[in-house]
Amino acid sequence: MARGLDALKCHAAGLQETRTNETGVSASGKYWVLSSPATPEGIGGCQIWLHRSQAVSYSAQRRQPGYWDRDSFSIVWAEPQLLVALAHAGGVKFCLVSGHAPVAAAPPDVRTKRWRSLAQALRLPPRGYAPILFLDANARFESSPTEPATTSSQPRCPNAWELLDLAAEFRLEVTHQFSHSGKRLISWHSVDHSPVAATFKARVTGAASKPKSRLCQQAVRTEYGLSVVRQALHTAPTIGWEVDATSHVEALHAHLQTFVSANLPPAPAPPRHPALTEATLEEVQRRRLQRLRLRALSQQERKAALLCVFRAWQGRRSPVEQFRRISAQVVDNVIELHWLNRRVRYCFQADKVQFIRTQTATAREAGPAAFAHLIRAVTRQGRRFKVPKVIPLLQTPTGPAVGRVEVTKQLGQHFARSHLLWLQARGLSGGVLFLDCKDAYYSVVRDLLTRGECCSLSAEQLQSRAALLFVYRKDQDAFVEEMLRADWAKALGLPTELHRLLAAQLHRTWFADGSPGFTLYATESGSAPGAPIADTIFAFLFSRFLNDVQATLRDKGLSPHLLQGFKPRHCTEAPTWADDVAILFQDRPMP
């Protein structure tokens, strides 16, 4: 099959009813073969044959021929009666289809299902793929030399109508029933088909795939290579400031890559193993050629043996001497291949030993870390890192705690339960004081912070102000007393600079509400909502609240556990937010 298609200079061919179990992409002679398997009963099977070395297209811009790109092959539909594959050739994208329609006497539901599957398969490829269909459509049309176009002929069977509908939907052209010379083209000759050959030429616009250029590092390190790099930097294009940073870098990289690759030799294909030398690669190439020679001689030996058998059946003289001569050549090549295998194996081992010696000397100079890494790489022993231990999950009655909110909630409950168990174990009295500080962030009284050393308000004005800010009479009196006394900064130990900073940040604050927010609101309480240092300001203010709570509990004979296990010179970080506050306390024992 491969020799016959190659003799006809066929670029692509589609076959149906191959009745083989082959699938995927394989090679046969000078062709790539894309296959879909037949059914277990041996019915069906489709193939698409693509020439490996014959030019399919020609690029007028690059003046280079285009070939089928093996890396672009992709089978998107494979059934016993339908094969759809995608392939590229010279920058043009093709959708290749090989299919077999049901016979004309098939039930209507089977015929409709088969043609719908073909239409669905043609909708799979992305835009830009040119469809080429190799169909055994089992369709018959009225023939007339005056109307050679198949799409203009009258259908004579249901498959013909289905073929016309498919061609109209996807704008396809069907091969004609008459040749250019007026001869009737008949593909059905009982009991088999004759191949239908067609030649078409088209001018299309495609993006030719550019081969990835690799720079030869050894050539760049030479004096000439360094001069080429310097020249590339001097000739770099000037890019305007209006271009973004990504486009700027891409333009420079493209110029450097193009200039250097055009003036330096291309990088040789790297070996699969870095330890292999050029001499070893030459030995590998010799062994590869020897294997090809042995394969060709083995085929000649089998053919000569068959010829001897056939001649003996015919009663004619068998070419035994020719068979013996070819067999002797096969034996000689087997022995030669055996010695080449030993030679390649020895070269591999010698290269690896020399590579390890060189790497060891280099690693010793690089330091103990690089040397240890090399030993692990060579001996395949040792571990680079310890396997991290899996952190256990926090378990709840309903399952593991997931999420920041749930985990934080479980941690708070854990510490509260631990405190109660600690009290129970030591026979002490105590508990957990829960404070709802939801509005603490916005309930900061600024009067103590924004005023100067002397209060500018009278006692009556302070009393009115206290009535607006506090509910209980005790808190109102304490507010007036502190405003007149002005010792809150000393109690917290705040320096004068920090006092001035807080007063400046909380003076005449405002916020906007709504969208687009044309209405401004002045604030007289809270810790500067929206300010960058709002959390820092709240930390200083809330620490005073915690100090007051601690003093109140101690006055009542309770020992709060605000700070536990810290030395006097250490302190916890000031909280920058407060929602639900829990204070652990215990009753102090009697002296």
For the chain, the structural domain boundaries read 2-193, 217-263, 278-379
pLDDT reported for residue 469: 67
Place of tokens 């098939």: 106
Residue 87: in which H helix or E strand, if any?
Answer: strand 82-89
Higher pLDDT, 342 or 260: 342
The pLDDT, as a whole number, for residue 206 is 59
Per-position b or e across 366-380, b if 16+ CB within 10 A of its CB: eeeeeeeebeeeeee
Helix, strand, coil content of the chain in percent (nearest 5): 45, 15, 40
Q: CA-to-CA distance for 328 and 220, rounded, in angstroms?
A: 51
pLDDT at 69 over 60: yes
* Pair of tokens at residue 125: 């490829």
Distance, in Å, from the CA atom of 155 to the CA atom of 177, rounded to the nearest integer, reads 12
The dihedral over CA atoms of 406, 412, 418, 421, expressed in degrees to the nearest 10, equals -100
DSSP one-letter code for 158: H
Residue with tokens 């809270």: 526
DSSP 31: E
b/e 328-348 (16+ beta carbons within 10 angstroms → b): eebeebeeebeebeeebeebb
pLDDT band at 442 (very low <50, low <70, confident <90, very high): low
Of the pLDDT bands very low, low, confident and very high (cuts 50, 70, 90), residue 568 is very low
Higher pLDDT pick, 27 / 458: 27
pLDDT at 453: 47
* Separation CA 127–CA 375 (nearest Å): 53
- Which distant-in-sequence residues (6+ apart) come within 8 Å of 490 by Cβ? none
Give me the mean pLDDT over the 327-337 stretch: 93
DSSP H helices, 223-367, are: 223-234, 245-263, 278-313, 320-366
Judge contact between 97 and 135, C-beta under 8 A.
yes
Q: Which CATH number fits domain 2-193: 3.40.50, 3.60.10, 3.10.150, 3.30.200?
A: 3.60.10
User: CA 335 to CA 340: how far, in whole Å?
Assistant: 9
Closest to 11 in 3D by CA, of 137, 210, 197: 197
Structure tokens given for 72:
């672009």
* pLDDT at residue 380 greater than cutoff 60: no
How far is residue 278 CA from its own chain's centroid?
36
pLDDT band, very low/low/confident/very high, at 399 (cuts 50, 70, 90): confident
- Which residue from 240, 261, 207 is spatially nearest to 88, judged by alpha carbons? 207
Which of 114-123, 183-192, 513-522 comes out lowest in average pLDDT? 513-522
Give the pLDDT band of residue 463 (cuts 50, 70, 90).
confident
For residue 440, the 8-state DSSP code is G
Angstrom distance (rounded) from CA 56 to CA 98? 19
Lowest model confidence (mean pLDDT) among 119-133, 190-204, 305-319, 416-430:
190-204
CA-wise closest residue to 132 among 208, 64, 198, 37: 198
Residue 341 has pLDDT above 90, yes or no: yes
DSSP 445: B
The fraction of the chain above a pLDDT of 90, given in percent, is 13
